[in-house]
Amino acid sequence: MQKRGIPTVVWLTPILPFINDTEENITAILNECVLVGVKGIIDFGMRLTLREGDREYYYAALDKHFPGMKERYIKRYGNAYELPSSKARKLTEIFQRICKANGVLSSPEDCFRFMSELPEKYPQMSIFDL
């Protein structure tokens, strides 16, 4: 894959405990972001958040695609809104190391500052300009 022309900011979310919260997965996602020239990556915590209603939908999907996983979630998190990965500390270290090594913005403040400046540097294209 080659780098894109317009720098972007992406969100590293959701991180699903017991499913995609592996060092290999996070490293692969971040390396791909670097490869395509992402300017910033926002990590709101290596976690999943579930509001009322979302939880029921998510648990039904777990039952369908990951039989038995719902019970692990209920046992560990109950009805919590925030479901952090037990590997959050290590995954955050990987996130920060890869971003720093590649000059990728990684704090929400820096990423939002960049996005607020983006329209001046990269005007919005109109579908009529194509």
Q: How confident is the model at residue 1 (pLDDT cuts 50, 70, 90)?
A: very low
**Does the pLDDT at position 107 exceed 50?**
yes
- The mean per-residue pLDDT over the stretch 27-33 comes to 96
Q: What residues are paired with 49 via a beta bridge?
A: 82
For residue 14, is the peptide bond before it cis, meaning its omega torsion is within 30 degrees of 0? yes
DSSP string computed for 11-65: E-----TTTT--HHHHHHHHHHHHHTT-SEEE-S-SEEE--TTHHHHHHHHHHHH
What percent of the chain has a predicted confidence (pLDDT) above 70?
Answer: 85
**Does the pLDDT at position 111 exceed 50?**
yes
